[in-house]
Structure 1
Amino acid sequence: METSPARSPHRLDPAGGCPHAVNARLLAQGSVAAVELPGGIAGMAVLGHEALREFLQHPEVAKNARHFTALREGAIAEGWPLLTFATVQGMTTADGDDHRRLRALAGRAFTPRRVEELRPRVEQLTTRLLDELERAAGEGDGVADLRRHFALPLPMGVIGELLGVETRFRDRLHHLSNQVVATGIEPAEVIAANRELAAVLGEIAAAKAADPADDLTSALIAARDEGGDRLSHQELIGTLVLMIIAGHETTLNLITNAVRALCAHPGQLALVRTGRASWADVVEETLRWDAPVSYFPFRYPVRDLTVGGTRIPAGTPVLAGYSAAGRDPAAHGSDADRFDVTRPARPGAVRHLSLGHGAHYCLGAPLARLEATVALERLFTRFPALELAGSEADLAPHAGFVGNSVRSLPVRLAPPRS
């Protein structure tokens, strides 16, 4: 039976916070929920695993913002914090032939062979960052912020090398990408961050145009310059925005969340240490149990659709509720909120949807998995007594409702000296 959401829309908190309690409450009411986006914009979120799987691959769901009714009608202000998600020109906002063209251009850097070729560099960078983490802990009475000193610079370093981005730009790009995906900052800050990000990436692109190298940015510029029919300048910058943000923010959260989960569940860590589970199992269970992205904007039905028994009007901005789907009891059982690295996969079922599904499945998924498995194995081998330096309750949640993690992760690498 088709229903329309009769309850008041759930107001997504622009400041963010841990999503799981809210997700559980909304899921108990149905697999699709009406939500209020910043600025009072009406939207919906697909939260149930099966409903989200259906929605992500539905042929009448689009990514191009020309289908976004409120935007088309002028109801969205310039400084709306989610505007970049809708209007950036790249594969995340393209459909059909345009999406296939843009994905093919970037996809050459993420083939299984190219990703596996990166393994030695990922391992080398991981070892160096573990040295720096230990040094930071030595300067901090045995405690260091693992997110800042390890989980962040690893994926930023890898994506920076893939794109050919000089080290001097990387801290700035991380700060700006954080601003771009934030949901609780002021309109003037949104506008300034987007302009500066485009300017920095334009500077990087100009340098690569003058002095090409064997990197993805140079390859994209070459495609742009082949008559302009393969890649426009706006698509070039939009693709770089996507690669910078998706190329490090997701893996940063994944590594952070996995370390948190293992520290909070030492029995699960013991299963890995004794060979009864693998580091790959840890990564997949973390992706399910504590997805690095909570609510990802946007998709738009091109006609009125019924998903999970709920009507979604055409032109509605819809969020993919990855963190909710990961703990959906209908898909994962009554213990869906339990972290279990030995959780068996259901026959014929997708274990999680946290890296997407269908045509827009995350292009960098193999690289994210490689980085996370190497990082976790090397980290817990080097520091077998690693533990959280403080209480889980004291960890401040990530700002905004798009990303899902904590702002810092203080850890103690070895037991304090008596």
Structure 2
Amino acid sequence: MDQLQAYVLDVDGTDIQAEGARLREGGSAVVVELPGGVRAWAVGHAGTLKSLLTDSRVSKDPRQHWAAWKEDRIAADWPLRLWVSVQNMFTAYGSDHRRLRSLVASGFTAKRTMELKPWVERITATLLDEVASLGRANGVVDLRGAFAYQLPVEVICRLFGVDDSQRAGLRKVVDTVFDTTTTPEAAQANAEDMYRILTGLAEQKRAQPGDDVTSAIIQADSVRFGRLTDAEVVDTLILMLTAGHETTVNLLDQAMTAMLTHPEQLALVRSGERPWSDVVEETLRWQAPVAYLPLRYAVTDIDLGDVVIPEGDAILAAYAAAGRDEAEYGETAGEFDITRGVKQHLAFGHGIHHCLGAPLARLEATTALRMLFERFPELAFAQPSTRLVPMSSFLSNGHAELPVRLGRDASL
């Protein structure tokens, strides 16, 4: 890989979909350069990526299978280091992954998720009241900052049992994790802050357990797998926090944008012809909330036909590119269409690493979208949608802000 010319990824995420198209044109896998000069094979074809996500020759454990990591060639202040250095089910392989996922899943059950529905509805209603107040005061509301950003953090903080006093700190550290333009020094300091906050939370819940996921993970035990170590508990909280917040923010952001720019499809949902779940699934395909997800590693040489990924090389899942793959979704893959009937996508991963929090993300999104558009039937962008600015990140696929005018409030 070192001898091959690398495509340098745009860390600002200026045009993630155009970049994804170029990657697909490059073949089954393309050598790309990440921040810090680190190289990986980006995979942007849906079929190839789906196959690799279930291939036992692909690992997520850098300590075992990433040559650059084992040879200490990855700098301590590498901006993406936290993505691979944590030791939880996200970075585990084989039996270690089965152990960690089994213990975490015991605290994140389908029953617990469904029990959250009334809770999510109450949080959404409260946030919409605040949005309405902002609209009356200012005329224009940033729907990402005031609504899409607020809902997931409220849900996950209540899920974790986080005190109000800790929430601002958690929001800050998650924002910085996804900001791929941050300096190495700031990224390293942010990682330290994240560990400090979540270590404190874990210590608090050991001393005073509650009816929350943090306590459930700490107490999880099994005859086969035992319990999580203290370090694994904290790293698991990091995984759930980062996976459960920013991704849902972007899902809401992109779904609201899609509805406001496709009024004919919004009309289909409002008429009852199509459910909100169709909007959510098509959004996940069309604009994957996480454009790229670091990292996986070749356990042995992997022959993809046109290229061979050598043993020990890193692999970057290009989810945004895969969602627009015409070979998988047809000639209209680049268009948003809730009637296309295709429900399968890779936005939540695939195989043994499929996101445990996917049902919660879907619950949040369908609830939030339904209640938002019911309350504000005249909701519209306050400026042409062509002026929306993408976030400064090649990982996080959303907008810097979503300025809207609320129009009539149907609750009055």
Establish whether TM, by shorter chain, passes 0.5.
Answer: yes
Matches within 5 A, 1:390-401: 390-401=383-394
2:265 to 264, 268, 292: 268
Provide the secondary structure at the position in 2 that maps to 1:390.
Answer: coil
What is aligned with 1:75? Answer: 73
TM-superposed deviation, 1:320:
0.7
Q: Deviations over 1:282-310 (max 9, x none)?
A: 00000000110101001001011023632
Deviates most, 388-397 or 157-166: 388-397
- Determine helix, strand or coil for the equivalent of 1:298: strand
- Deviations 1:78-130, CA, capped at 9 Å, x for gaps: 11011111111111001122212221222134322221111100111111110
What secondary structure does 2:106 align onto? helix
- Identity among equivalent positions (%) equals 46
Question: Which has the higher mean CA deviation after the structures are superposed, 235-244 or 384-393?
Answer: 384-393
Matched, 1:43 2:40: yes
Does 2:50 align with 1:53?
yes
Asked whether the 8 Å contact 2:16–2:291 carries over to 1, the reply is yes
Contact 1:5 1:33 (C-alpha < 8 Å) held by counterparts: no
Q: What's the counterpart of residue 110 of structure 1? A: 108
Aligned partner of 2:166: which letter? F
Shift of 1:351: 1.8
Deviations 1:194-238 (A, max 9, x none): 0011001111112112211111111222348x9x95211211110
Amino acid at match of 1:41: V
Correspondence 1:75-154 to 2 at 5 A: 75-140=73-138, 142-154=139-151
Q: CA deviation at 1:7?
A: 7.0
Structure 1 residues 24 and 7, CA gap change in structure 2 (3 angstroms): farther
In structure 1, what residue type is equivalent to 2:134?
A
1:81/1:181 contact within 8 Å kept: no
Counterpart for residue 406 of structure 1: 399
Give the counterpart letter for 2:372 in structure 1. L
- Going from structure 1 to structure 2, the CA distance change for 1:308 and 1:200 (only over 3 Å counts) comes to farther
TM-score, scaled relative to structure 2 = 0.94
Structure 1 letter corresponding to 2:281 = E
Secondary structure at the residue paired with 2:39? strand
Post-superposition offset of 1:378: 0.4
User: Residue 5 of structure 1: CA displacement?
Assistant: 11
Aligned residue type for 2:369: L
Question: Which one-letter code corresponds to 2:405 in the other structure?
Answer: R
Structure 2 Cα separation of the partners of residues 187 and 397 of structure 1: 22
In 1, are the aligned partners of 2:143 and 2:401 still within 8 Å (CA)? yes
In the TM superposition, residue 17 of structure 1 has moved relative to its aligned partner by 2.5
1:335 is aligned to 2:339: no
How far is 1:415 from its partner? 6.9
How much has 1:392 moved relative to structure 2? 2.2
- Contact 1:51 1:308 survives alignment (8 Å): no
Letter in 2 for 1:413: L
Matches within 5 A, 1:11-410: 11-66=8-63, 67-140=65-138, 142-223=139-220, 230-307=227-304, 309-345=306-342, 351-410=344-403
What is the CA-CA distance between 1:186 and the residue it aligns to? 1.1
Where in structure 2 are there 5+ consecutive unaligned residues?
none
Specify whether residues 191 and 392 from structure 1 end up closer, same or farther in structure 2 by C-alpha distance, changes over 3 A only: same
Q: Distance in 2 between matches of 1:51 and 1:309?
A: 12
When the two structures are aligned, how many residues end up with a matched partner?
407
Structure-2 separation of matches of 1:147 and 1:168: 23
The more displaced of 369-378 and 171-180 is 171-180
SS in 2 for 1:110: coil
The question of whether the paired residues in 1 share the 8 Å contact of 2:106 and 2:217 is answered with: no
Cα distance change of structure 1 residues 387 and 362 upon mapping to structure 2, 3 Å threshold: same
Following TM superposition, by how much is the alpha carbon of 1:243 offset from its aligned partner in structure 2, in angstroms?
1.1
Contact 2:44 2:322 in 1 (8 A): yes
Measure how far apart 1:393 and its partner are: 2.8
